Structure 1
Amino acid sequence: MQRPLETLDPNLLKGLREHVHERLRQAIIAGQLPTGMLLNERKVAAELGVSTTPLKEALRRLELEGLVRTEPRRGIRVTFDAGQAEEMALARAALESMVARLAAARITDEALDNLRGITEGMKKATQSGAVSRLIELNEAFHDAIHAASGCHYLKRLLVGQLIYDKAARRFLLGDRDERGRALVEHLAILAALEARDEDGAERAMRDHIVRSGKQHVQTAFERR
């Protein structure tokens, strides 16, 4: 049986439309709103505690992102599936691994010190189970590598992939074992960057993203 969506707090700082969009995207990527499901707009709006106006706008954005599809005379159908999730993870792995390779060749001592500080925070957040903090540090880790690489074109290409990645990351890092695996992989990436090992940094980043992508597919789709 489908779990109902959590009611939104109307006092949230973001605009309500943004929250509706983000909540639905997370639910779709996590498999809470499964592939092929027809969304009843009134029911979804009632579960979220909002009117159908912000919901309709959120659904339009989700359609542009390729997560849902409008079917004439039928409604809105969830289209995000395991194949799409795997493709997006592989695309991100290809881009991020090249960014890591260039970062290994260009990274400064100052940037390495910043990454070491981030990973120390990740260790503490992993041990304490502070998921929200860990998600922030995870994003900071990858952002720091992007900055160290000096890549502007590749970073622009990554923007579309990060829409998927942020929602999948929140879903995955809720699991204690996954948090431990991710920490080990981030430390391996850092070690390769410290050694200025271009091949090693590329491989460590690619392996991390491909492995976590497969884990997301298995957890969100194959076990349902």
Structure 2
Amino acid sequence: MNPILPPIEPQWTQPIREVVYERLKEALLEGRLRPGDRLVESELAQRLQVSRTPVREALRRLEAEGMLESLPRKGLVVKDYSLEEIEEVYSIRESLEALAAVQAVRRATEEELRHLEALMARIDILERDPRTPPRGIFEAHRDFSEACIRACHLPRLVQMIETFKGHMTRFRRVTLGDDARRRRVRDEHRSILEALKNRDEALAERLTREHIRGAYEAYFGLAGSSAPTPAAPPSLQPASEEVETP
């Protein structure tokens, strides 16, 4: 079994502060550092075999991104999410990605659409191969989602969505770990791609909203009995009430 935080090898060509940041973030996103785990600067530096300065900088960045939090008498810990925070993240994600989908219909190039088709074909191949590890399928779906978002050609919107990437990666690892949900995601991504190719703004927006609401509901269904399944928050109204048919 791989250690939670293996030492950083000296041959890395990136600045050490970036390597430390990426190593810690990867451990958070992959669940090797779990909600409530206490992070002590000196201990992390010893594990990674680096000085404390790049560790301190990385922890500050991750705290600013909302992945860590400071608690009284505990110090810095991996953030756990309240019901309200999860609802907030999904609500904001729905609004931003629905806008990105509409803009992608308008702005995506034919080359980008061909690239999305290739990514979708790769997902199909991976899904059919029983040897594919869950991480491979997760990364393939992530690549498809990110390519769809980039196709909107609105850098500020892409940047805003990017700020939620860490939160959503933790949620997606729960939902895409379920075979039935993963099959639905594949079908939903295929439908969204067809809407983009057909330049159908209303359909692309509706399908994107439905996809994210499905992820929201699946998260609570799979996260465990301690997480209640609430009604959709106020911002998550039925798509038919939000999207006007042109």
Q: TM-score, normalised by structure 2?
A: 0.69
Counting aligned pairs with the same residue, the percent is 33
Write the distance in 2 (CA, Å) between the matches of 1:27 and 1:85. 20
222 and 136 in structure 1: CA distance in 2 versus 1, 3 angstrom threshold: same
Write the distance in 2 (CA, Å) between the matches of 1:113 and 1:223. 43
Write the distance in 2 (CA, Å) between the matches of 1:50 and 1:195. 52
Write the distance in 1 (CA, Å) between the matches of 2:63 and 2:198. 43
2:116 corresponding residue in structure 1: 115
- Shift of the alpha carbon at 1:47? 5.8
The answer to whether the 8 Å contact 1:29/1:220 transfers is: no
1:41-62 CA distance string (max 9 Å, x none): 4555566666654433322112
1:69 corresponding residue in structure 2: 69
1:195 corresponding residue in structure 2: 198
Write the distance in 2 (CA, Å) between the matches of 1:177 and 1:44. 38
1:64-93 CA distance string (max 9 Å, x none): 112223356642133331433332232122
Write the distance in 1 (CA, Å) between the matches of 2:113 and 2:195. 11
RMSD of aligned Cα (Å): 3.6
Question: How is 1:1-224 mapped onto 2 (pairs within 5 angstroms)?
Answer: 5-8=4-7, 10=9, 17-28=17-28, 33-42=33-42, 52-71=52-71, 74-83=74-83, 84-128=85-129, 129-169=132-172, 172-216=175-219, 218-220=221-223
Which residue type is aligned with residue 88 of structure 1?
Answer: V
Say which SS state the counterpart of residue 209 (structure 1) adopts: helix
86 and 23 in structure 1: CA distance in 2 versus 1, 3 angstrom threshold: farther
Say which SS state the counterpart of residue 69 (structure 1) adopts: strand
Which of 1 and 2 has higher RCO (CA within 8 Å, sep 6+)? 1
Write the distance in 1 (CA, Å) between the matches of 2:107 and 2:184. 27
- Shift of the alpha carbon at 1:139? 3.8
What are the ranges of 5 or more consecutive residues in structure 2 without an aligned counterpart? 228-246
The answer to whether the 8 Å contact 1:26/1:168 transfers is: no
Write the distance in 1 (CA, Å) between the matches of 2:7 and 2:205. 40
49 and 90 in structure 1: CA distance in 2 versus 1, 3 angstrom threshold: farther
The answer to whether the 8 Å contact 2:25/2:62 transfers is: yes
Write the distance in 2 (CA, Å) between the matches of 1:217 and 1:28. 20
2:244 corresponding residue in structure 1: none
189 and 67 in structure 1: CA distance in 2 versus 1, 3 angstrom threshold: same
Write the distance in 2 (CA, Å) between the matches of 1:176 and 1:36. 28
Q: TM-score, normalised by structure 1?
A: 0.74
181 and 13 in structure 1: CA distance in 2 versus 1, 3 angstrom threshold: farther
- Shift of the alpha carbon at 1:141? 2.3
Write the distance in 1 (CA, Å) between the matches of 2:63 and 2:221. 24
What are the ranges of 5 or more consecutive residues in structure 1 without an aligned counterpart? none
42 and 91 in structure 1: CA distance in 2 versus 1, 3 angstrom threshold: same
Say which SS state the counterpart of residue 149 (structure 1) adopts: coil
Which residue type is aligned with residue 90 of structure 2?
Answer: A
The answer to whether the 8 Å contact 2:105/2:204 transfers is: yes
Greater share of helix: 1
